Amino acid sequence: MILLDTTSAASWRHASGLARVSGRLLEELGASARAAQWPSLGPAAGGGDWLLTPELFSEAERPGFTTFLDNRPCPVAAVYHDAIPIKLPHITWPKSVERHPGYMKLLSRFDRVWAVSNASRAELLGFWEWQGIAKPPPVEVLALGADWRGIARIAEAPPRRSGLHRIVSIGILEPRKNQGVLLDAFEALRAEGLAFELHLVGRVNPHYGEPIARRVAALAARYTGVRHHEGLKDAAVADLVRSARATAFPSIAEGCGLPVLESLWMGVPCVCSDIAPVLENASGGGCAVVAGNTLKGWVEALRRIITNDAHHAALAAEAERRPLPTWAGAAKTLREALT
């Protein structure tokens, strides 16, 4: 049996990437897993079990967790996401910045770790080497799923909707997600006379997101077609993505970049940044990668995806035919290793 650690996820009310990983793995692991929360993880474990955590944690948040690892009743494994709080502390939640070094050190005491991308794996191994950890656990890559819950993969491009072309960008409003470059590109293209809709989907980071939200509101007052959607359910987000000419993902730091994969599942091309984890998902086709993630590059890429039907059709065809990972596949990888 796999005990899936859902200590934090059980109480989350927002649809973050971490919440999606936890929820979808639990669903797809099915009868081979059950959810458990700290501090009952130890008592819940039995002979032959594995504890698997996709969560972030620290000794301060879970008093006694280090002792638990020292005397663990069963082997422990983790899904590792990224080192963003260490790399970008000036724009990351203070709690995350405080937690993350200790969290990454604790992972070195686990029996197995799966990273969500090759880039993520390399940064974790590099951190352990920097820390002088002589015998780290094996770290493999777990391909996260592109599939939306209950939505079959799009086999052909959806019919053209009437009205202006629509660009949809999914992600919490914050500097790391880099929505500012999309807003700059939108204004530049509108100044050229190119009209299109820009929809941003995600909650507002309470520490760093308010300036972005205010700018979105100001643009929405000046132009039709600029919208910020906060608190949408998955079905509504899926409908919005299906209606898009393309999605946009300008992030400057990620562990994986699930919105890229999820866009491709819908057969919708994605215009994206060129950071390493995103490139891992974009390289198979269906994506227009913005070299350098510059404003000039975003203006050119958005202009082309909106105005050039042949370019758009080619990317959509790539998205439709390329192989994509699934959550069932991710669960199968874990199940075969841990049961």
pLDDT digits (tens, 9 = 90+) for 264-293: 999 999 999 999 999 999 999 999 999 999
With 90 as the cut, is the pLDDT of residue 189 above it? Answer: yes
Cα gap 339→226, rounded to integer Å = 49
pLDDT attached to residue 16: 76
Give the model confidence (pLDDT) of 77-124 as tens digits: 999 999 999 999 999 999 999 999 999 999 999 999 999 999 999 999
Q: Which tokens go with 23?
A: 């929820």
**In the chain, what percentage of residues exceed pLDDT 90?**
88
Query: What digits encode the pLDDT tens for the residues 207-248?
Result: 999 999 999 999 999 999 999 999 899 999 999 999 999 999
**Res. 203: pLDDT tops 80:** yes
- Topology agreement, domain 2-145+326-338 and domain 166-321: yes
Q: Provide the residue ranges of all domains of the chain, joining segments of one domain with +.
A: 2-145+326-338, 166-321
pLDDT digits (tens, 9 = 90+) for 295-328: 999 999 999 999 999 999 999 999 999 999 999 9
Share of the chain above pLDDT 70, in %: 97
Q: What is the phi/psi pair of residue 233, to 5°? A: -75, 165
Q: What is the pLDDT of residue 46?
A: 77
Report the length, in residues, of the chain.
339
Token duo for residue 169: 């960008």
**2-145+326-338 CATH:** 3.40.50.2000
Question: Taking the model in full, what pTM does it have?
Answer: 0.94
Q: Which two tokens stand for residue 234?
A: 């998955």
Q: What confidence score (pLDDT) does residue 8 get?
A: 87
Give the Cα separation of 183 and 198 in Å (integer): 9
Q: What value, to the nearest 5°, has the Cα angle with vertex 153 and ends 151 and 159?
A: 95
Q: Is the pLDDT of residue 294 over 90?
A: yes
Q: Give the separation between CA 135 and CA 118, rounded to whole angstroms.
A: 20
- 183 membership: H or E segment, kind and range: helix 179-192
Structure confidence at residue 172 as a pLDDT band (50, 70, 90): very high
CATH number of this structure's domain 166-321: 3.40.50.2000
